Homo-oligomer: A and B are copies of this chain.
Amino acid sequence: MAGSTDVAKVYERFISLVREVHWLNRISDLLSWDQQVMMPPKGVSARSEQYAVLSGLAHDRLAGNEMADLLAHLEAHSDELDEDQRVNVREVRRSHDRARKVPRELIQEIVTTEGLSQKHWLEAKQKDDFSIFAPWLEKMVALKRRVADAIGYEKTPYDPLLDEFEPHTTSEEVAGVLEGLKPALVELVRRIESSSIRPRREILERSFPIAKQEEFGAWIVRLMGFDFEAGRIDRSPHPFCSGANGDVRITTRYKEDYIPASLFGLMHETGHGLYDQGLDPKHEGTPRGFTVSLGVHESQSRLWENLVGRSMHFWRFAFPFLQAF
């Protein structure tokens, strides 16, 4: 009994640290949403300072000695934890071990560089001139290599970086999957190229007022089940989805003469958004209540974008509505 009470208290403190890390990261996500959707251009340097503060504090909590002690204690008494609690200990252990190897200053340099590079990326995109962004990309690659070196790897520096998005997965495994798909895909492209059938694409490039694209897009997103009381749609130079549970932000961009740009972007991000709105609020703020991996996330976004959005069945249903908008 005394042991259990002790473990319960340790777990409570552990979870309160874990939730602080979670909220600091969600705040960073919101700042990033704001930067891409709302922030005036001269806000960029202050924003980078803010990322540095948040990521530094999150790192202190996740990688610190207190977390190390809490994890060790909980692991030594894992038989007294329930399944959800063991998931949280296991996943925080993963992140903790990883974070401990990466210097706080390196993390801060990465997030401030990301923040500052955003506007150069945007300028490069607008002017269609990669040379504007190239030095920033080089800087980021160099920083990410330092992360890989700090964490360590057996075969390729990409492995420890991949692990951040797709836990327990290696470049070799991914290459195996892609190599397996290659023959059939190459054959498919060859058959398309040599076919005499040429689909008419004019319908995709028909002029469609942006205000109407926005209305139609929101209508589709609502039909897909997205809860607008727990999320919103905005515009950004490139579509993305961020947030979780009761506050999910999705974005898209509009081209008057190419509705697929906005619509499939929206359906893709709504796939992400539905996953995020569906997270179990009981476990909010802990790994047990958060995204599993980017692959699982993409399984939802691509399901909606490609298997639904680009299907004949969907368009047999949706096209008459699109015409009526």
Contact = CB atoms under 8 A, between A and B. Distances in A.
Interface in A32-82: 34, 38-47, 49-50, 53-54, 57
Contacts of A86: none
A170 interface: no
A233 B26 CA distance: 25
Nearest to A234: B38
The SS class assigned to the A binding surface is helix
Contact of A42 (B34, B57, B230): B230
B245 A46 contact: yes
A150 to B, nearest CB: 23
Given A30-B34, A245-B46, A53 B40 contact: no
Given A27-B27, A54-B27, A42 B246 contact: yes
A229 B50 contact: no
A20 to B, nearest CB: 5
A24 interface: yes
A34 B33 CA distance: 11
A227 interface: yes
A247 B46 contact: yes
Interface of A: 19-20, 23-24, 26-27, 30-31, 34, 38-47, 49-50, 53-54, 57, 227-232, 243-247, 284-285
A46 B34 contact: no
Contacts of A230: 40-43
A54 to B, nearest CB: 7
A246 B23 contact: no
A118 to B, nearest CB: 14
Contacts of A19: 49, 53
19 contacts: A20-B53, A20-B57, A23-B46, A23-B50, A27-B27, A38-B38, A38-B232, A40-B230, A40-B231, A40-B232, A40-B246, A42-B247, A43-B246, A44-B246, A46-B246, A46-B284, A47-B247, A49-B285, A57-B57
